[in-house]
Amino acid sequence: YCCICTVQSQRQLGVAIGNGNIGGGGDVVRREHYEYNAPGAQRHRRRGGPFDGIIPGVILTIASSTLQWWNEGRAVRLAKMLGDAKKQVVELDSTAPVNPENDGKLVHVTGDIMTKGGVVDPVHGLYRPDALQLVRSTEAYQWKEQRSETKTRVSETKTKVEVKFRYYKGWTKKSVESNRFESSTGHFNPYPKYQLGIDKITVNDARISNGLRIPPDLVDQIGNQDITIFTTSKYPRLRESHDPSSVAIGRGGDLPYIDGAVISSNTLYFSENKISSDVLTLGDDGRPVSQLNKIPSNNRIDVTRSIPMPEVGDVRVSWKEIAAPSDGVSILAQQQGDKLVPWAHSDTGHNIFRLIPGKFSARLMLEELIGKNKVITKFLRIGGWMGSFIGMNLVLSCIPALAKIVPFGIGNLLAPLAQIATSTIALSIATGLSAAVIAVAWLRFRPLLATSLAFVSGAGFFGPFFYARWKRSPVV
């Protein structure tokens, strides 16, 4: 079938800087082999038959109709839940103490979020006293592999295949296993020192102005208020007490000192290969000085250049914090003692557990949910109709395929006409099928409305006919 002919390795040097990342040069490993095919095998390769689209088309049409049926039921149940919520919601005074009489009820409250303990990163010790959530991004500088393949037909029976493996270095939020590389020699990735990825740390003592506790699930809904945590504008600095065990990184939060860690460009770097010349000496006033022998050794902090040159295995960590919105928040949830929990509708099983930045009335918040429900319903209806149309096109695709095999060149003329005809038929069937499914679903989920619409529609269709017959009937 194939044989390996050559293996080539080419060293490429260079550094690319873009989007704040450092991309290292890498190796390119090429492997070539030839694929052999029997004479005429390409010409006799089996093509799809004219009836291959029938079964997938039927499956897609049934799935689309099922989606439309489920969508109508979902829309009705959610509309009923939101309608009942409008009638049952209780407005709370954000300045009044918690009232036990509202336990188990859907409540609406607006106010400011407060926290006493703040949030602490349990891995690195970063403490933000006024933040509600920390979003930590951890990346490692690792080797990566990129594979590309090129096929060149040499003869009727032989094809040259060139597979190229490019190895380059870059920052990534996922651990890359170098033992899976095509060429792992010289491209070893050590196991990351810390778990990579995006992690969220949320406060567990957040409260609204009137004392109701806000669980982390609600705090997590303030996701659009993130603020990048900046290090000090010029140099890292010690605490005012000159405690060498911590480095302040701005806005009053201190980062405990970790051996092998440096700060640069608002990011914490961990490296096993620090350069001794990258040491900044601070005086008693926290300002850098050049006379090393006049400054106590415990006032020395490791820093890097403005753009650090990473090595494979280095780890960098950056944070964003979610601060309490300055204009307060609005909450819809169920009161249970002194905390807020999801409000579950007894008939439909749907629940409401909603927080948005800003102060808005319960009516506006519920209208927003109603509007979202209508938009989702319309999109799913369109998606179901499109699925039915594509499915019916697949079912009827056998007709153009059969028309194309008509001899003497006639098939080439008939196939496009047959395609237009079958697409028109599929459009009509999909529209009628979607309307029928939605109509039956309305009879199931909205019987009164469906009956009224059927009566009005029947009167529009058959009213003139009965009126004409009544006019022609003889008067006794």
- Per-residue pLDDT, 40: 56
Q: Cα dihedral angle (351, 355, 358, 359), rounded to 10 degrees?
A: 50
**Mapping DSSP to helix (H, G, I), strand (E, B) and coil, where does residue 330 land?**
strand
With a CB cutoff of 8 Å and minimum separation 6, the contacts of 231 are 249, 250, 263, 265, 266
Q: How far apart are CA 23 and CA 20, in angstroms?
A: 10
Of residues 110, 113, 104, the one with CA closest to residue 334:
104
- Are residues 254 and 239 in contact, defined by beta-carbon separation less than 8 angstroms? yes
pLDDT at 20: 33
Q: With contact defined as beta carbons under 8 Å apart, do 393 and 57 qualify? A: yes
Calpha distance 263→247 (Å, rounded): 9
What's the rounded Cα separation, in Å, for the pair 246 and 162?
54
pLDDT tens, 323-344? 888 888 999 999 999 899 999 9
Coil, strand, or helix at residue 224? helix
Q: How much is the pLDDT for 235?
A: 33
Quote the pLDDT of residue 473: 59
- The whole-number pLDDT of residue 472 equals 63
| 152 bridge partner residues | 160
Q: Which two three-digit tokens encode residue 400?
A: 């153009």
Integer CA distances (angstroms), 433 to 379, 437, 476, in order: 17, 6, 47
Question: Average pLDDT by consecutive 10-residue portion of the chain (476 residues)?
Answer: 36 28 61 77 56 88 92 89 91 86 92 87 79 89 92 85 91 91 87 90 89 90 61 34 39 49 64 47 41 34 47 84 86 92 87 90 91 92 93 88 79 83 88 83 77 62 62 56
CA atoms within 13 A on the CB side of 256: 9
Q: In this structure, what DSSP letter does residue 114 have? A: B
pLDDT score for 144: 93
Helices (H) and strands (E) in the chain, counts: 6, 24
- pTM over cut 0.75: no
pLDDT the model gives residue 467:
59
**pLDDT, position 232:** 36
CA distances from 276 to 136, 273, 313 (A): 28, 9, 19
Closest CA to 347 of 75, 89, 77, 106: 77
Quickly tell me which residue has 């040069």 as its tokens: 25
DSSP code per residue over 334-365: EEETTEEEPEEPTTT--EE-EEEES---HHHH
